[in-house]
Amino acid sequence: MTASLHDRLPSYVAVSPRPSDYFRILFVCTGNVCRSPIAERLTRHELDTRLSERAAGRIVVESAGTWGHEGAPMEAHAATVLGEYGVDSRNFAGRELLDEHVVEADLVLTATLDHRAQVISMGHAAGLRTFTLKEFTRLVRSIDPATLPEVGSGAEVTERARALVRAAAALRGWLLASSPEADEVGDPYGAPIGMFRNCGEEIFHALDPVVTALTGVPAPRHQAQRPWRS
């Protein structure tokens, strides 16, 4: 009997499909102990806050590192910053970025342009769904929300998310950053808590327009203030 296309695919493709009723976001940094865990947990918190349990459950949020510390806990200052935002940092374990993570992801958001290049170099048709976080934010700000499917049920949030990624990919190359560094989030690893707070604030404010565009639900107004200044 002739093998099907599914049978001929590499194992990480065959066993890890991207079902249409779920949307997977993958955050990528270097060690997967600072920037990408902060982004992962902040995003999860915001989705759970703004959407119904069913709709929020349709979006899977994960992270990994190009030189990920496999099984390592989140860096202590990163966990502290998340706590200041009221976000749970428990039960985190670092991961090294693998092919299967890229294959499964519908949207890959990286800390830097180098991370983005590394993800794209892995193949798996990742180019049109891989951006730096701040690049994606910049593009999302130029997308008219009225052009996206309106969220009304669990399934529709995934439709809206996919439409958002397609729209952002179409704008890339037309809307350029003021400088390459403007699309990057610096690494606070080994720095004092103040640097981690600055990093957390940078990530939080980059994520807010993205989560708003994904969900159609804006953040509460009080979240514009730094949590440790409240």
Give the active site residues: 29, 35, 144
Q: Which residues contact 56 (CB under 8 A, 6 or more apart)?
A: 47, 48, 50
DSSP β-ladder status, 130-132 and 23-29: unpaired
Q: How far apart (Å, rounded) are the C-alpha atoms in residues 92 and 41?
A: 9
Query: How would DSSP label each residue in 63-112?
Result: EEETT--TTPPPPHHHHHHHHHTT---TT----B--HHHHHH-SEEEESS
Q: How far apart (Å, rounded) are the C-alpha atoms in residues 203 and 187?
A: 12
R_g over Cα of the chain: 17
